[in-house]
Structures are given as C-alpha cells and as structure tokens.
Amino acid sequence: MSGLQCLASENIWFDKPLYDEAEKCFYEGANGPPSQAKAALLPKARQQRPRNRNSSSHAGGDQELVTRMKSMELENHTLHKVVAEMRAALQTLENRVATLEKSPSAKAAPVQAAPVKQVQNGDDEDEDDDMDLFGSDDEDDEEAERLKQERLDAYAAKKSKKPALIAKSSLLLDVKPWDDETDMAKLEECVRSVQMEGLLWGASKLVPVGYGIKKLQITCVIEDDKVGTDILEEEITKFEDFIQSIDVAAFNKI
C-alpha cells in the first residue's frame, strides 16, 4: 500500500505536456530552426578563417625563427673556431718567447764603458795652448799637390809599360805568270823568298785562269807601320822571268 501511495502522490506524468513544451523550447533554443542553424554556422566559419590565417602566420614566424637560430648557431661555431686558432697562435708565440728568454745568446751583453783618459793639469795645458787647432792651409795645399804628382807619375809609368797596339792587315795576292809553261813551283818559291820585317806569308793555291794558265793565290799578314803594299808589289815583280803581274785581291784590317 505504501508504493501505491507514493505513486498517487507523484504528479510528474500528469504534467507531461508541460515537460514536452519545455523540452521543445530547450532544443529550439540550443539548435534553433534549420534556417537559423545555417545562419549560425556562417559566423563560426568566418571566425575559423582568421584562426587559420593566424595559424599560418604563426607557422611562418616559427620558420623564420628557426632559420635565424640556425644561422646564429653556424656563426657561433665559426667564432669558436677562430678563437681556438688565435689561442693556438698565442700559445706558440708564448713558447717561442720563453725559449728565446732561456737561451744564453738572447741575454744582452753588458755594455762596457769606454775608459776615460785622465787629463793631467800643468804642462799639458801649456802644450794645448801652443797647439794650432786650425793648422796651415799652405801645408794642406802642398800635401795635395804632392799626392797628385805621385798619382800622375804612377799612371805614366804604368802606361809606358803597356805594349803599344800594332796595326796589322791581311792581304790576298793574285800572282799571274806569263804563260802555261811557267814553272808555278818556282814562281811560288820566288814570291816566298821576299822577306822583310813585319811580313808573314800564309797559305797558297793555284787557281785556273783559262787556256791552261793558272795563277798563284797567296795570303800574307803585314804590319802597317813597317810594310806597305807598294813596296811588297815592287819586290815581288823583280822576278820578271816568272811573274807577269800582281794584284791585291783582298785587303782586310786585323
């Protein structure tokens, strides 16, 4: 009887229309009608766009930050490397300085003061008074003249000992016989028999002229101051039994 009494006192089911109406209002207020639901979705989509833009901008800013951090890390690494090299160079320099300081040759030798000559008073002062500090110009001129004369004499003696240059010339002579029956060996012997100071005979050969006739071509060296070409031709043409004429084919200074 107690359960029935409880149900009799409960009035929830008697007020069901009220609860249905309340539930309807609740759902309409939560979702709204279909047209209002679409209109409500548009502001939500528009609100999401700035969020997307903000997220992309945040992503771009993060990428730039990462790039800058990487460049700073690379620069920091380079600076560390430079500092390490500088420390190594400084250490090497310190070691060299320490080695030089320890070596005995690096120590500076003590400077010895020059001995001071003591000047005695008394007679030395009198001698200084008598000394002529400026000297005599006449004595200097005589000394310079004497040195000049000695140098001139030495130059003249040296020049006199030097052998004088002897001017020489080289001649090529063409000695022609009378005919083809002339003994050319005898003709050459006659030519070489001419001897004088400053004359030196050289090589010779026979050169055909024509019709079986040959001429003697002979070289000689003469000293210009002692032997002249005119005198040489005159001496050679004295052998007129063998020699018809003589010509100077070539004349060269030595």
**DSSP calls for 151-200:** HHHHHHHHHHHSPPPPPEEEEEEEEE-SSTTS-HHHHHHHHHT---TTEE
Domain of residue 232, residue span: 168-253
Distance CA 217, CA 250 (A): 11
Average pLDDT, stretch 48-58? 53
Q: Tell me which range, 23-27, 159-163, 205-209, is most confidently predicted by mean pLDDT.
A: 205-209
Give the pLDDT of residue 81: 92
Assess if residue 93 is contained within a domain.
no
Q: What percent of the chain has pLDDT over 70?
A: 67
pLDDT score of 166: 79
Residue scoring higher pLDDT (155 or 92): 92
Tell me, what's the pLDDT at 82? 94
pLDDT at 2 over 60: no
Residue range 234-247, pLDDT digits in tens: 999 999 999 999 99
Looking at residue 239, its pLDDT comes to 92
Q: Which residues lie closer than 8 Å to 37 by C-beta, 6 or more apart?
A: 31
Beta carbons of 243 and 176 less than 8 angstroms apart:
yes
193 vs 42, more confident: 193
- pLDDT value at position 119? 47
Does residue 232 lie within any of the structural domains? yes
Q: Of 253, 243, 235, 223, nearest to 174 (Cα)?
A: 243
According to DSSP H, which parts of 103-134 are helical? 123-130
- The rounded mean pLDDT for the chain is 77
For 182-222, what is each residue's pLDDT tens digit?
999 999 999 999 999 999 999 999 999 988 899 999 999 99
Residue ranges in 103-136 assigned as alpha helix (H): 123-130
Q: Is residue 241 assigned to a domain?
A: yes
DSSP letter (8 states) at residue 105: G
For residue 45, the model assigns a pLDDT of 47
CATH number, domain of 223, equals 3.30.70.60
Q: Work out whether the CA dihedral 7, 9, 10, 13 comes out positive or negative.
A: positive
Tell whether 175 is covered by a domain. Answer: yes
Instruction: Tell me the average pLDDT across 134-142.
Output: 67
How many structural domains comprise the chain? Answer: 1
Q: How far apart are CA 195 and CA 248, in angstroms?
A: 18
In a domain, 228, yes or no: yes
Q: Looking at the domain assignment, is residue 206 inside a domain? A: yes
Three-state DSSP class for 201?
A: strand
Is residue 247 a part of any domain in this protein?
A: yes
Among candidate residues 201, 192, 248, 196, the one with its CA nearest the CA of residue 227? 196
Q: How many CB atoms lie within 10 A of CB 187?
A: 24
Domain contains 61: no
Predicted confidence band at 29 (pLDDT cuts at 50, 70, 90)? confident
Amino acid 42: pLDDT: 47
Average pLDDT over residues 22-42: 63
